[in-house]
Amino acid sequence: MPPILSIQNISKSYGPVQALKGVSFDVPEGSVYGILGPNGSGKTTLLGIMLDVLLANEGSFSWFGGSSHAEARKQIGSLLETPNFYHYLSAYNNLEISAAIKQHGLADRERVLRQVGLLERKDSKFQSFSLGMKQRLAIGAALLGSPKVLVLDEPTNGLDPAGIAEIRELIRKLNKEGLTVIIASHLLDEVEKVCTHVAILKRGNLLLNGPVNEVLLSEDQIEIAAPDMNNLRITMQSMPGIKKITPAENKFQLLCEPGIDAIKVNEYCISKGIILSHLLIKKKSLESKFMELTN
């Protein structure tokens, strides 16, 4: 299956500021793809380029295996900035305006309101909505015309925890219904909770990309000690799958390849006649992994 979006070697400068430096990755169909990075890392610029709002200086991208950009655009719903809804109009009437601007039929409104869980509140004024409901309506406007892909820039910015949870649930639901969703976010937590895939940007460079569970895989560290530390070090150097041995206060910290856990380390030591006096698994949080990558 060709990727929904393929980005190849995109670079973009604003005068002396190089916002993107040769960024390439593919967005698989059916994914929730997070573009993750701190402020100023180039996320919004990348979304602007893929939506033909900005021109790249170098590189190219293709949607749906190579459709023309004009054709592709019809299949993409996007929310880069909060739309200017009228406070005194109902959800229904606000969507009427959005539908007219986008030249979509009015019949689509009910479907979209149902999709974002606002059908029962369609006649309520926009000003009576919670922050989460307002954002759901904005996503609803982006869903007019039944796009195959939804592109969202920082969809939970400015929301309270309840609003954040609502939007997270909505993204999951839309994805289950078959939509591919591309989200720019500076929040690791958001990406970890809803995204299937991630690309991590730092100052315009792509650091890593791939399935979330691979890219943000928590790396367990195993801490060990034994009465004869010298013998322990020599023994561990001979164990397959140990990537790094770091001495730390009468202990060694082991960085292991996937599949090597505390049991395997313990078994190996016993097989070499070593009885461990200390064995501890230290979980490396995703947060610290992200900080390590972006700082």
Q: Which of 31, 45, 62, 135 touches ligand ATP (CB under 6 A)?
A: 45
Which residues on neighbouring strands pair with residue 246, listed in sequence order? 253
Q: Which of 34, 37, 140, 155 touches ligand ATP (CB under 6 A)?
A: 37
Q: How far is the CB of 152 from ligand ATP (least distance, A)?
A: 12
Binding of ligand ATP at residue 30 (CB under 6 A)?
Answer: no
Q: Are 163 and 171 in contact (CB under 8 A)?
A: no
Q: Which residue, 50 or 118, has its beta carbon nearer to ligand ATP?
A: 50
Contacts of 273 (CB under 8 A, 6+ apart): none
Binding of ligand ATP at residue 19 (CB under 6 A)?
Answer: yes
Q: What is the DSSP string of 157-182?
A: TT--HHHHHHHHHHHHHHHHTT-EEE
Q: Name the one range near ligand ATP by CB under 6 A: 41-49, 206-214, 219-227, 264-272.
A: 41-49
Binding of ligand ATP at residue 156 (CB under 6 A)?
Answer: no
SS3 content of the chain, % helix, strand, coil (to 5): 35, 30, 35
DSSP state at residue 234: H
Q: How far apart are alpha carbons 205 and 214 in whole angstroms? A: 19
Query: Rounded to the nearest 10 degrees, what angle do helices 91-102 and 131-142 cross at?
Result: 30
Tokens of 164: 């954040």
Q: How far is the CB of 5 from ligand ATP (least distance, A)?
A: 17
Binding of ligand ATP at residue 34 (CB under 6 A)?
Answer: no
Q: How far apart are alpha carbons 224 and 237 in whole angstroms? A: 13
Tokens of 187: 């929040």
Binding of ligand ATP at residue 42 (CB under 6 A)?
Answer: yes
- Sheet with 197-202, edge to edge strand ranges: 76-79, 149-153, 180-185, 32-36, 197-202, 205-211
Q: Name the one range near ligand ATP by CB under 6 A: 43-51, 138-146, 217-225, 281-289.
A: 43-51
Count of residues engaged in binding ligand ATP, rule: CB under 6 A:
12
Q: How far is the CB of 184 from ligand ATP (least distance, A)?
A: 6
Q: Is 229 left (phi over 0), alpha (psi -120 to 50) or beta?
A: alpha
Q: Which residue, 50 or 144, has its beta carbon nearer to ligand ATP?
A: 50
Q: Hunting for tokens 């380390």 — which residue is that?
A: 265
Binding of ligand ATP at residue 44 (CB under 6 A)?
Answer: yes
Binding of ligand ATP at residue 155 (CB under 6 A)?
Answer: no
Q: Which residue, 43 or 109, has its beta carbon nearer to ligand ATP?
A: 43
Q: Which of 5, 43, 174, 242 touches ligand ATP (CB under 6 A)?
A: 43
Binding of ligand ATP at residue 53 (CB under 6 A)?
Answer: no
Footprint of ligand ATP (CB under 6 A): 14, 17, 19, 37, 39-45, 186
